[in-house]
Structure 1
């Protein structure tokens, strides 16, 4: 049985704010600062002694990668608004310029903390026999090995670049990492300035032979500095620094593009030439080099961040060594659902038995792949339709669709070309599908298709049966190993009809007039949410139990937040599990005193979207209205994307979502941060002897209710339902 202390605990005492604040912009938190707060929580995991050492290093790398993307997209957009003189405030009342000032202060503090964390981790790595060397600590006996490595593995891909009137300063692409050099010719002391791009095609850290049981690594830039005379013969080094560039990576697409694919291919090339958003530069760089770099990129002082330490912390993921299992999470193998095993791997037979909800990564994503592979080879399958927002480079999903098309089945693939940073991969996948004979559709120009839907039409006896998969995450087998997401498999005719209408909407602009168990944005999803929230408020006003549980990545949309505030004022108890951005302020007297918010950051990335309404009974209960969704509660998801909100009607699946998944998330202590009314997040402190409830460990140890086979679900821990 899941511990329910959090669910039974009283809501924290609310704080009071002036009337103007709870009615004005201050009722919202700024979304950009809230995102930075989330990245602080990621970084905090790099300092968490309960997390294995190399997993902490991974968290530091993720924190650095997150911050890079934040700058290239969010900060870039705000800067464009500020430069255009836009003073329109965000929902929280801050103008673009005011936001940029606050972001700059907070981000610089975050970057300083990242470097301090790296220093601490590096010392712990040394105590665990993993050493990161510099060129001054290289022993003579190591130099022949490094010389051979340099000549055979690095030298062929280097491009040293002199800077003089005949050789202008080159274009440095986004994320480009470069050594800037001050050289002097030995023969006549003639100065030369030069650049040496550090090739990203080569591993950032060079592995040296182990010594006395210690693993040793040398950063690539250190190797290059050791061999400058081979790159610039006849010159000696007088000074140097390193720098790394981030550029505006947002894409602009012409509304009237005749060929959407070709337009995106051109836009991807434009992305490389975006404006400089941030320049990280070695602290203490020679003044002449610093001025040259800033002038030629160009970059302003506000865009420069001087780094005392390592530039490019995202590359530290290379040092997460798979063979050091003593410093990693204990191994975990995703389960194959018992019901699928009972049917000898036949996905259609397992789904026919009853609806099945898989909880990834605890249940393997291979079942989604098997569903499509089986469909591709089944002579009774006539048609497959599939959305693709993100997927892997050599995607087994795409291969299965190609195989199905080659086997003569009707295959329609909705490929979203505007999936940020995956546009190039999606163009390649669409070309591959077209060559195999699939119909490739690119959806709407003005809306991203973010919905996760797959349908398989199969002839059974004299009827056509539609098997449908609805997901909360991408069809990406690699990220599915670390993202927690839900996969609903059903052959419910209503859900099959709904899915078919959505595909018709995407491929033929045929807007569905009615949907039975599904709401979609930009048409009905938001209004459905608002109606359900209001209905729960009405139950509270009528004196009935009223409760909402929701889980997602981000809550930003002001209309939804205001609806939650109104429900709270009516007496609805609202518990939210929000991993990332939360613009809602909990615990404000007269506004949100019945709302509590927590964030879970741990071994797996929480990604599933769930919302449960007590429906006049409180939670958990059998009469609850339960939904899974592809959408966060953000303006882009509710207004500018095609998203799904699927109502769950199967009793076992509902029990799994409410009494197992949501209950465990709400009960979690080990990985939870509780949001205070001022926007700060606090994690409970535990002693070494404590064993706080960890929802990720719980899910790893206990199968999902609806995936149980002949053994039944009675022995699976979950909350009992209240009386009908």
Structure 2
């Protein structure tokens, strides 16, 4: 099922030759993303995972693909419609990319349906059934009919399709069923449409054991006579719509809040990008839907018998611990416990890094709660990109404001698909007296930073938190990220300048430690790679290790090619998109790229540079960041890059986190020069980085207990090759 992220020169069914020579130095971004989602889908086939976790991976692959169409494909469709003459880094027009995308996406959706078929058989064997229409009989049929009449029938609103009733608007991700009926009394044909509301549970569970579920559209077809008494059903089919859900920011938007409130409404009514039809839909019904919803932009496909694979996550909630990963309870850093839970005292004593999800996000909340309740804290500044629907962070800021502290919250309204929730939080914060700032119109504030100013004696001390992930209590349980806490005065001054830059457009000067985009982050990164190039040319050991979600930026890729040509050893851990071609003779011979896909989602951004010695070494230059290496992160977002100077934290991140990622061989895929990802063979020395961190405490968080207990197992790069 593994499919390569090929450099597409010409689609097999495309008669229009490519006008410009493709650039073989880059993989196509969109096809690389589809290859990533293929790797996610492969985890649904991994027998090492429990059955319901495999189902979860299948659902995630469906959610990913939906968003890909709503945003990336919608953008390409917009370019094509507006005849924008813009080529991708690999030299393809929007039309050529769309041709290749549709082919790959259709194959991916076919694989999703095949995987669902396989998992359905395994679920049956495990005593968890998703009933087909023909399997509904006896007491199940009676219960479901009663349930349909009492709980579903009142919610549904069938709509006739005739000259007096124009075709209705179908919302984004809307699942509907279209019927061809005939009235029994006079043999008159009638066509009806039933939209299934988003608030309706996709799968209905029958009472008792074993667990039996039925999809709501199957239930609707089964009990169509209840909804349409006096009619015979000639044909019925499900369909689903995906719409353009990206937002373009008007440069002169006077009121950003009002703009986004209106833009969210427009998103729900965006143009149709993909129309998914149930496999085997009658031609006459398919023709109606294509005519009403297809339009010039829509990609139309028959997508199997279960549309909306994403909704399978509802089955994962079934209480079957034997079919899920063993529960895992994150640790609370012992360093902070040694100070009686006083975060400020622990941070003042020494910098500390918290490794999520292995160490709990509660320590971040504890930091903010302590700041809110501490009478000596005078000011709190906080960026909020994605805070989720759980209000722990928001409540801490509100508590602080109500206690009379100066509280500033930079709320990013342009956080895709979180805009509406962020507007809710912004309103609640403002009502409590928090100074809410929305940042730049053109740039997203993606940096994750907290700043707390505390009166200590006759002076003030600044405490900072820098995160590679969001202030989101839910994702912090499944995303691997780093939370770095420091009371370093120089870092505090830099963080204060960063906030002034966002809130008052005050250009930072003399930043001592922190690099910011779009100000100087890309250039400083390039300078660090240049130092490694110079070391290699001088005959010194030279190396770059980098971990991130995506690598797209052409200028950085070219700099890495230059470094490879000079002999710099480069190891990249890139979970998602990678447009760089590794291992190509004369171009990238010393570059290796791997992707880690497993129980947790690898999300932290970590960069290391040998600094004249082979990696890892104590003198290596080490950084954490909020940024991936993409044009948007360097040019259109406020991001940070922060050096790690504390020796213990340096050792944990470089020798523990990075080495574990490099030597993992149970969840890793290696990118080949032709664009294909090959799963790594564990051989006789298997190593699973997630299992390692679940069972071994971090170096930085252990504090004094490290000296009196068994040492954390040392990791060696010798496992890597």
- Please give the per-residue CA displacement for 1:387-413, whole angstroms capped at 9, x wherever unaligned: 000012132001110111111110000
Q: C-alpha separation between the residues in 1 aligned to 2:203 and 2:717? A: 54
- For residues 212-611 of structure 1, the aligned pairs below 5 Å read 214-299=210-295, 303-611=299-607
What is aligned with 1:651?
Answer: 647
What is aligned with 1:4?
Answer: none
Q: C-alpha separation between the residues in 2 aligned to 1:299 and 1:60? A: 30
- Please give the per-residue CA displacement for 1:476-511, whole angstroms capped at 9, x wherever unaligned: 000010000000001110111111000000000001
Q: C-alpha separation between the residues in 1 aligned to 2:135 and 2:592? A: 52
Contact 2:249 2:442 in 1 (8 A): no
After TM superposition, give the deviation of residue 566 of structure 1 in Å. Answer: 0.6
What is aligned with 1:16?
Answer: none
Runs of 4+ in 1 over 4 A off after TM superposition: 719-722
The alignment partner of 1:210 has SS state of: coil
Contact 2:665 2:682 in 1 (8 A): no
What is aligned with 1:53?
Answer: 51
The alignment partner of 1:564 has SS state of: helix
The alignment partner of 1:277 has SS state of: strand
The alignment partner of 1:197 has SS state of: strand
Name which of structure 1's ranges 567-576 and 711-720 shifts more when overlaid on structure 2: 711-720
- Please give the per-residue CA displacement for 1:96-140, whole angstroms capped at 9, x wherever unaligned: 111111101111111111100000000011110111102221122
- Please give the per-residue CA displacement for 1:48-106, whole angstroms capped at 9, x wherever unaligned: 11111111100000001100100010011011111222333211111111111110111
After TM superposition, give the deviation of residue 142 of structure 1 in Å. Answer: 1.6
The normalised TM-score by structure 2 is: 0.95
What is aligned with 1:700?
Answer: 694
Q: Describe the shift of the 1:715–1:66 C-alpha distance in structure 2 as closer, same or farther (beyond 3 A).
A: same
After TM superposition, give the deviation of residue 147 of structure 1 in Å. Answer: 2.4
The alignment partner of 1:386 has SS state of: strand
Q: Describe the shift of the 1:94–1:24 C-alpha distance in structure 2 as closer, same or farther (beyond 3 A).
A: closer
What is aligned with 1:88?
Answer: 86
- Please give the per-residue CA displacement for 1:285-313, whole angstroms capped at 9, x wherever unaligned: 22222111111123469711112321111
What is aligned with 1:105?
Answer: 103
- For residues 36-185 of structure 1, the aligned pairs below 5 Å read 36-185=34-183
Q: C-alpha separation between the residues in 2 aligned to 1:628 and 1:301? A: 41
Q: Describe the shift of the 1:151–1:24 C-alpha distance in structure 2 as closer, same or farther (beyond 3 A).
A: closer
The normalised TM-score by structure 1 is: 0.94
Q: C-alpha separation between the residues in 2 aligned to 1:412 and 1:647? A: 25
Contact 2:449 2:465 in 1 (8 A): yes
Q: C-alpha separation between the residues in 2 aligned to 1:325 and 1:678? A: 41
Q: C-alpha separation between the residues in 2 aligned to 1:100 and 1:587? A: 28
After TM superposition, give the deviation of residue 590 of structure 1 in Å. Answer: 1.3
Contact 1:621 1:721 in 2 (8 A): no
Contact 1:294 1:300 in 2 (8 A): no
After TM superposition, give the deviation of residue 160 of structure 1 in Å. Answer: 1.1
Q: C-alpha separation between the residues in 2 aligned to 1:371 and 1:126? A: 47
After TM superposition, give the deviation of residue 24 of structure 1 in Å. Answer: 7.5
What is aligned with 2:16?
Answer: none
Alignment counterpart, residue 706 of structure 2, candidates 702, 706, 712: 712
- Please give the per-residue CA displacement for 1:330-363, whole angstroms capped at 9, x wherever unaligned: 1110000111111221111111120000110000
Alignment counterpart, residue 639 of structure 1, candidates 635, 641, 655: 635
Contact 1:449 1:643 in 2 (8 A): yes
What is aligned with 2:185?
Answer: 187
Q: C-alpha separation between the residues in 1 aligned to 2:614 and 2:22? A: 31
The alignment partner of 2:289 has SS state of: helix
What is aligned with 1:9?
Answer: none
After TM superposition, give the deviation of residue 25 of structure 1 in Å. Answer: 1.6
- Please give the per-residue CA displacement for 1:386-442, whole angstroms capped at 9, x wherever unaligned: 000001213200111011111111000000000000000000000000000000000
Is 1:667 equivalent to 2:663 in the alignment? yes
Q: C-alpha separation between the residues in 1 aligned to 2:216 and 2:22? A: 53
Contact 2:275 2:294 in 1 (8 A): no
Alignment counterpart, residue 613 of structure 1, candidates 598, 606, 609: 609
Name which of structure 1's ranges 76-85 and 643-652 shifts more when overlaid on structure 2: 76-85
Gaps of 5+ in 2: 1-20
Contact 1:253 1:267 in 2 (8 A): no
What is aligned with 2:11?
Answer: none
- For residues 1-20 of structure 1, the aligned pairs below 5 Å read none
Q: Describe the shift of the 1:197–1:720 C-alpha distance in structure 2 as closer, same or farther (beyond 3 A).
A: closer
Name which of structure 1's ranges 110-119 and 141-150 shifts more when overlaid on structure 2: 141-150
Q: C-alpha separation between the residues in 1 aligned to 2:462 and 2:658? A: 29
Q: C-alpha separation between the residues in 1 aligned to 2:659 and 2:472? A: 27
After TM superposition, give the deviation of residue 611 of structure 1 in Å. Answer: 0.3
Q: C-alpha separation between the residues in 1 aligned to 2:698 and 2:373? A: 28
After TM superposition, give the deviation of residue 686 of structure 1 in Å. Answer: 5.3
Contact 2:611 2:619 in 1 (8 A): yes
Contact 2:175 2:196 in 1 (8 A): yes
Q: C-alpha separation between the residues in 2 aligned to 1:24 and 1:155? A: 56
After TM superposition, give the deviation of residue 233 of structure 1 in Å. Answer: 2.4
Q: C-alpha separation between the residues in 2 aligned to 1:517 and 1:718? A: 30
Q: C-alpha separation between the residues in 2 aligned to 1:216 and 1:306? A: 27
After TM superposition, give the deviation of residue 250 of structure 1 in Å. Answer: 1.1
Query: What's the RMSD between the two structures over aligned residues?
Result: 1.6
